[in-house]
C-alpha cells in the first residue's frame, strides 16, 4: 500500500513563480507520516515546489487543506478522483467547513488527525472508509516524533518546524484557532519536545515553534524554557503581548535560545482593539513599553498589524510606520483583515450582508491581497494602505536604519539572518499581491460538485 501526502499551493502564477517565504516544511504531514505503519509506503507531493503527476501509482491520497489553499486542493482532488484514486482531506479548513470539503473528498478528517489516523488506514484497507472522522484528543497522550525524512529532496527554507502545544486561551474576533481546537489548549509533553529536538540531524539550524501562542500557558512555558536551556538551541516562535508583563518569562525565553517572537500587535488604537476582542493588548503596558521590555531582554520582534477594522487612513498608517521605525522592529507584517469561516468576524459580516463574495476562498475572481468584504472606508484604500506600509517598511533606507538596533543584529548569524529575511520579504511583498487562489488554468472546482455545503460558525 502507498499513501501520497499532498500539500497544495495557495495558487499558481504564470511562469511558476511562488512566494519563497511561504515555502516551509509541512510539519503536520510529517507527524501523520510518523503515525503511518512501516509496511505502508509514503511520499510527499508539495504543490508549492513541484508539478504533480496525477497518473502516479498510489492507493490513498491525503490532502491537507487550509482556507487559502482550498480552491487548489479541490482541483488536485478532482484530478486524482477522476483517475479512480481515493482522497481523504483534513486540516484547518476541513474542520471549519467539513460539509464543503466532503463534496471534494471520499473522506474528511475533522479536528486533530492523530486520534483517527489509524482508523482511517484500517477502514481504507477493509474497504469501509467512512465519510467523516472526528475524535477529541489530549495532545499529551501522543509521543510523536515527526518523520522528517519525508522532506528529503525538497527545497524548503532552512528552518526546522516543531511544536510544544496547540491552541490559544484568547478569543480574538478574527481568529479561527479557538474554533478549530474547540477552545482547548493542548500541551505536548516536554520530554517529547526534548526528544524531538535531540533527534534532529542539524541542531544548529534555527528552530521554529509553530505553536499559535507558546506563552498561552505561562507556567507550562516556563517549564519548557527551563528544559530547553541545556540544549543550546536557537529558536523563534509566536506569543501574545502579555508575555511582556512577566520578566521571569522573558528572561527564561532568552536563556533557552529564543531569538525572537511574532506578536500580533494588530492596532495602536484602543477602540479598534476592543472591537477585535483584543483589549488585553493595551491592558497594562502601552505598545511602546511592551516592545521595550522584549528588546531589553534581548528578544527580536516580528509585529503584525491588521488594516480594515476601523476608518483606516493615511495618518493612522503613518503612525504605525513611525512606531515600527522608532522602535527599530526586526520584521513587521501589514495585513488587511480577512474573515475566515468559523470566526465571529465572518458570522457578523455575513449577518450584516457585507461579504463581497459567496465563500471568497473559492471565488475565481478573488485574489490574495484583496479585501473580501465591505469595509468602513473604500476597500481599495485599505488595500493600498497596507501595501504602502509594506513598501515603506521594507525599503532599503528602512532596512539599513533598523539595523542600528543592536538587538536585531547581535551575533554574526543574526546579522546575516536580518539581512536575508528583510531582503526576502522586500522581494516577496510585491509578488504576493493579486496572487490567485488555485490555478486559473485548471478546472473550476466550485462547479464540479453539488453546492449544498455550509461552514461552521
Residue ranges per structural domain of the chain: 2-134, 140-435
Dihedral angle at the C-alpha atoms of 434, 420, 50, 162, nearest 10 degrees? -100
Q: What is the pLDDT of residue 16?
A: 66
| 285-294 pLDDT per residue, tens | 899 999 999 9
Structure pTM?
A: 0.92
Q: What is the pLDDT of residue 160?
A: 95
61 touches 1 (CB < 8 A): no
Q: CA nearest 367: which of 353, 387, 347?
A: 387
Q: What is the pLDDT of residue 450?
A: 38
Q: What is the pLDDT of residue 449?
A: 54
Grid cell listed for 250: 522573558
- Check whether 14 has a pLDDT greater than 80: no
| 193-226 pLDDT per residue, tens | 999 999 998 878 899 999 999 998 999 999 999 9
| 257-309 pLDDT per residue, tens | 999 999 999 999 999 999 989 988 888 889 999 999 999 999 999 999 999 98
Distant-in-sequence, close-in-space partners of 53: CB < 8 Å, separation ≥ 6 = none
At the topology level, CATH places domain 140-435 in pyruvate-formate lyase- activating enzyme (3.80.30)
Q: What is the mean pLDDT of the chain?
A: 91
How far lies 268's CA from each of 316, 320, 390, in Å? 9, 7, 17
162 touches 146 (CB < 8 A): yes
| 349-391 pLDDT per residue, tens | 999 999 998 899 999 989 888 899 999 888 888 988 999 999 9
356 touches 373 (CB < 8 A): yes
> Where do we find the cell 482522497?
87
Q: CA nearest 260: which of 432, 400, 411, 426?
A: 411
3-state SS class at 57: coil
Looking at the chain, how many residues does it have? Answer: 457
> What average pLDDT does range 317-346 have in this prediction?
94
CA gap 201, 204 in Å, rounded: 9
Q: What is the pLDDT of residue 455?
A: 66
| 115-154 pLDDT per residue, tens | 999 999 999 999 999 999 999 888 888 899 999 999 999 9
At the topology level, CATH places domain 2-134 in Rossmann fold (3.40.50)
Of the chain, the percentage scoring pLDDT greater than 90 comes to 70
- Check whether 168 has a pLDDT greater than 90: no
Structure confidence at residue 452 as a pLDDT band (50, 70, 90): very low
Q: What is the pLDDT of residue 13?
A: 79
Amino acid at each position: 500500500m502507498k499513501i501520497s501526502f499532498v500539500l497544495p499551493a495557495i495558487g499558481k502564477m504564470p511562469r511558476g513563480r511562488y512566494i519563497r517565504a511561504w515555502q516551509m516544511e509541512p510539519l503536520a504531514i510529517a507527524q501523520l507520516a510518523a503515525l503511518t505503519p512501516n509496511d505502508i509506503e509514503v511520499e510527499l507531493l508539495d504543490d508549492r515546489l513541484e508539478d504533480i503527476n496525477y497518473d502516479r501509482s498510489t492507493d490513498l491520497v491525503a490532502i491537507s487543506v487550509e482556507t487559502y489553499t482550498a480552491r487548489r486542493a479541490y482541483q488536485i482532488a478532482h484530478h486524482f478522483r477522476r483517475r479512480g484514486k481515493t482522497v481523504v482531506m483534513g486540516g484547518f479548513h476541513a474542520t471549519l467547513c467539513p460539509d464543503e470539503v466532503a463534496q471534494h473528498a471520499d473522506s474528511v478528517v475533522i479536528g486533530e488527525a492523530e486520534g483517527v489516523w489509524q482508523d482511517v488506514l484500517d477502514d481504507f484497507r477493509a474497504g469501509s472508509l467512512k465519510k467523516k472522522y472526528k475524535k477529541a484528543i489530549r495532545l499529551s497522550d501522543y509521543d510523536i516524533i515527526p518523520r522528517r525524512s519525508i522532506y528529503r529532496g525538497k527545497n524548503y527554507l532552512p528552518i526546522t518546524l516543531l511544536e510544544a502545544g496547540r491552541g490559544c486561551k484568547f478569543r480574538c474576533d478574527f481568529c479561527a484557532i479557538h474554533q478549530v481546537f474547540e477552545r482547548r489548549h493542548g500541551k505536548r509533553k516536554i520530554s517529547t519536545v526534548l526528544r524531538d529536538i535531540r533527534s534532529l540531524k542539524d541542531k544548529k539550524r534555527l528552530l521554529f515553534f509553530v505553536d499559535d501562542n507558546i506563552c498561552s500557558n505561562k507556567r507550562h512555558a516556563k517549564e519548557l524554557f527551563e528544559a530547553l536551556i541545556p540544549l543550546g538551541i536557537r529558536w523563534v516562535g509566536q506569543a501574545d503581548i502579555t508575555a511582556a508583563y512577566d520578566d521571569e518569562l522573558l528572561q527564561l525565553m532568552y536563556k533557552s535560545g529564543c531569538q525572537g517572537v511574532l506578536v500580533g500587535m494588530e492596532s495602536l488604537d484602543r477602540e479598534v482593539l476592543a472591537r477585535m476582542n483584543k483589549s488585553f493588548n493595551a491592558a497594562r503596558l502601552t505598545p511602546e513599553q511592551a516592545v521595550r521590555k522584549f528588546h531589553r531582554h534581548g528578544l527580536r520582534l516580528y509585529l503584525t498589524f491588521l488594516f480594515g477594522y476601523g476608518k483606516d487612513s493615511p495618518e493612522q498608517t503613518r503612525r504605525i510606520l513611525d512606531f515600527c521605525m522608532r522602535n527599530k522592529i526586526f520584521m513587521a507584517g501589514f495585513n488587511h483583515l480577512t474573515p475566515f469561516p468559523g470566526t465571529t468576524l465572518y458570522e457578523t459580516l455575513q449577518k450584516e450582508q457585507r461579504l463581497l463574495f459567496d465563500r471568497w476562498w473559492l471565488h475565481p475572481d478573488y485574489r490574495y491581497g484583496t479585501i473580501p468584504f465591505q469595509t468602513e472606508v473604500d476597500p481599495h484604500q485599505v488595500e493600498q494602505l497596507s501595501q504602502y506600509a509594506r513598501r515603506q517598511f521594507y525599503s532599503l533606507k528602512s532596512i539599513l536604519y533598523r539595523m542600528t538596533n543592536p538587538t536585531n543584529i547581535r551575533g554574526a548569524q543574526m546579522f546575516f539572518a536580518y539581512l536575508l529575511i528583510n531582503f526576502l520579504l522586500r522581494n516577496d511583498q510585491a509578488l504576493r499581491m493579486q496572487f490567485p487562489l488555485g490555478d486559473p488554468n485548471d478546472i473550476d472546482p466550485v462547479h464540479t460538485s453539488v453546492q449544498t455545503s455550509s461552514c461552521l460558525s
